[in-house]
Amino acid sequence: MGDPRAGQIVDNIFVSIQQIQIAGDVVASAGDWLILSSTPSEGHVLASATSDGSDLAARNLVQTRVDIDTTGLTDRATVVECLAAPSYVYAVAGGAIPAGAIVKLDTTGQKFLVASATDLAAGYVVGRFSRLSTDSAGNNDAVDTDIIILKLGVN
């Protein structure tokens, strides 16, 4: 089967799929992260460098399952399936993450870092690092660019 990639479904683990309306002019690949635009009537946009400072529970952070290109289309004209909380998903570590740590988006909007209690209070926490994608024993820490299994949602 090969190594897992962000956007693929984790074996034997719970997933929640939502139908998401996409803003116009969004180009994303399977495994990319989307959030509801700061102008909600636009729909979901690609998470970016400023997304890490958003209340992501309110902005509905989701992971794409398919490639998306809405170039030249109107806002919300395209609907796609995305993985949402409380799904377990493959994601990319943006730095060192201890096993079991709560995580937030990094400044790329596409990787994850360790979150703090302050981040939790601000709504920046998006989930918990479950394990490395290739870690059958569990409990190993992640480093930058590792593919990790992330449980979306705060609970």
The pTM (predicted TM-score) of the whole model is 0.87
Segment 44-68 shows an average pLDDT of 88
Across the range 67-94, mean pLDDT stands at: 95
Spans of all domains in the chain: 16-84, 89-152
Tell me the pLDDT band of 6, cut-offs 50, 70 and 90: confident
Residue 10 has pLDDT above 70, yes or no: no
120-133 residues labelled b (16+ CB within 10 A) or e (exposed): eeeebbbbbbbbbb
The answer to whether 127 touches 85, Cβ cutoff 8 Å, is yes
The pLDDT confidence band at residue 2, using thresholds 50, 70 and 90, is: low
pLDDT band with cut points at 50, 70 and 90 for residue 85: very high
68 residue type, one letter: I
With pLDDT > 90 as the criterion, what percentage of the chain qualifies?
A: 66
DSSP 101-150: -EEEE-TTSSSEEE--HHHHHHT-EEEEEEEETT-SS--PPB-TT-EEEE
| 134-154 average pLDDT score | 86
Q: Which of 5-14, 55-64, 76-85 has the least mean pLDDT?
A: 5-14
